[in-house]
Structure 1
């Protein structure tokens, strides 16, 4: 009874997760059989195969993928060191435990030079029969942990490349799905979203999509069935089916279960939704297509839901790291979707872009620039009217220190306040200046402001108009307000056609749009968040509650149209 308890504690403490395939190499067949029984007694999930020569061991490694090699020093056709040297050429990190009866320190030194993982003497095993088992468990666990960390590093680097290289949501979504299929060997991966009618539709897919064609009928709503991705869209929670049970007895997360019921049976619902039949249908379809497990994670950021990321495996389990990785990808996709789509929507190109220079010293930004060094550059992408007499510039100033910027702001009469939000290079700040300013003049005559750059005492404003005929009124109005204003370049850009319906932006009020632009450019949606709602509300001279109300309304309008598209 005592021995049984000892074995149980040993198994709990040392056994690495998952099955362990070990290859035991020893020319003494009796000793090999004995150690095989010892190892398998201590590990419920261990599988030990044996060979008795160096050449047989090399062949076994070519035809299989053991998690660990256990090798005696003396072999009939060579030594364990020779086998170790041969293996290290192609498998530099594979766990290798050398067992010898000699106890010669020179053997240990030679083994260490060849990067042996561990070293055990046979005379030690006589007094400690579980020693080899514990050593194998330790090296396999360390090896798997190192592999997992390396996979995580590669995955994060791949995700970073995808986010930075993708120019559209579609490109990013497709790249992520393909990454899960190519690098993580999932059978199928997809991103699902809701269309304008509230039906689930594929946004991006990779792998064998025949399963999706079998289970996702046109017009499928989130509450129409228990398929993991569809359910995740309904409940807003991670859903895992591992393994997939054809009769539907595999539980999902507790939170997901309760939320599914809330999604299916709301307070106004008077009908029971029969999920058993639809659940059985998707499970049978999954098994018919060789899928053993499924996992779906909502794609969201800052409370805005974009869709769901789902992966399907031909194996029957997902470990904790796989779940964490999928959640991290979904979170990053949500952040990238939000940043990409909002910037595209807020700063979409018109038919005729303009570049306008303003050298009038009565322009606040020009006057500020002339108080700084000649190498300083002021960049502004957001200009928000604060009241009838003031506007708020959100600016980045490179080539100047925060102290010199504050001194310059105090010296310019038209700059009423200057607040530095981030020091360094560039310095990020909020400037409240007197009106008129060129940017608001442009908007008054129907232009769309895009960006302002001030360097060496000269202001360059990038804007756009609906048609070339609108350029002349812009020039006239600016020349009336600023004597030295002139249009220095006009060109057509057909690579980004004008969005004729404007998405959800057309339904925004002026204040909602201002709040949205400020939140975007002031870093409210970045990680880590650079400003909170109280700080942003103060910039606009409104209450925090009012700011939050406008921001939520703007989010709802914009993403309702963007997601439905």
Structure 2
């Protein structure tokens, strides 16, 4: 064997026409994982391990007249080899190159390209769902939109949407679409039996639940596992419909593939759950705003562990809630009027469980206002998270009264149970009342009566001069100069006018509603 043959960077074998190996270099021996001294004089079929087609041994079993090249996978070596055969008289030379890394890279690229294509399809699908959710005006339309879009795609077998039963904790099927087979029937049966399903877990934890082997997952009830196996279903993703700290329902998406939901897919579906929860919350608020009548509940809170009852009791002073601002994490920014020193009230609240930071907004010796951050797990946080309107909240030593408004079709019992089950509280009054409808013209006329001429002129001039645009197209000095007043005077009129505008929008409705029905 010459030195060039031995030191070649690729594997080389010389094989006689009868298939006997006459020479092999170290590179070829390493690729085939054989002892070069032991294979000389042996049949080529004994030197090459088995592949799917066994191309090389079969070629020597016949006569090799022309050059050929083949790329094959050898399972025992876990290696792809490219083999080129060059016949020359009584000897055929085989050239071997390792193509394993290239093949693995190619597979990875193909997989990533497939994942990207799938992600694009899923994102387009979810984008379509979100677009249609914007147009949905009822919770039934929201459920049907989600199911029809997800259940009728080739990516998934079926989808269903569940919500808590009115007046109870059981989840009921609101809508379903796709090839449900026997699985949805068994799901419904298990919901009736209060069995623990992944969808119920998603509702309880407010987080998505993934099952990648339905037939083997012990947490899935056996009837559902059997039905899923019979229907050819392997994976499930349960997505809660959330808004803030509220969970309005769940979407269950079932697929035939075990790995149907990648990490990117789950992130996209998480966005869908949040947007669907937002849509449900919006429909509830829309119903409340557009309803001619509302249900008004009065709750009495006597739980001494709640922050506002506790501070009213500790300071022996009444306090009232002026307004609430919801936060993304379910907490409430609460503004209070207090009849005692505001500084003491803020200090006491800041030290209590269920309250976060507290500061004095307007302080005085005998009265003032305080800003406090309340946890979602407080009476006000709990009812606000259910999409109701807190009309008023008054506290005195030992108790507090909270008046909330709901649309007539809302489940009153469920909302009340949120508070009465978690706290020492009771419903002390319930009534239906008509709402007065103020037209845009009436609103403008009322506001016109409240504004002074100077305030209205300042607001109108600033608005028309694009003072309120960002970036501003006119400065305060320019607007003031046009009105013939000083800059500080303009700002004084603007602040006073803006204050009246905001009061007209944020102040509670005046108490001039005709009752329908009677207190219960």
TM-score tier, shorter chain, comes to: 0.3 to 0.5
TM-score normalised over the length of structure 2: 0.45
- The answer to which structure has the higher helix fraction is 1
TM-score normalised over the length of structure 1: 0.42
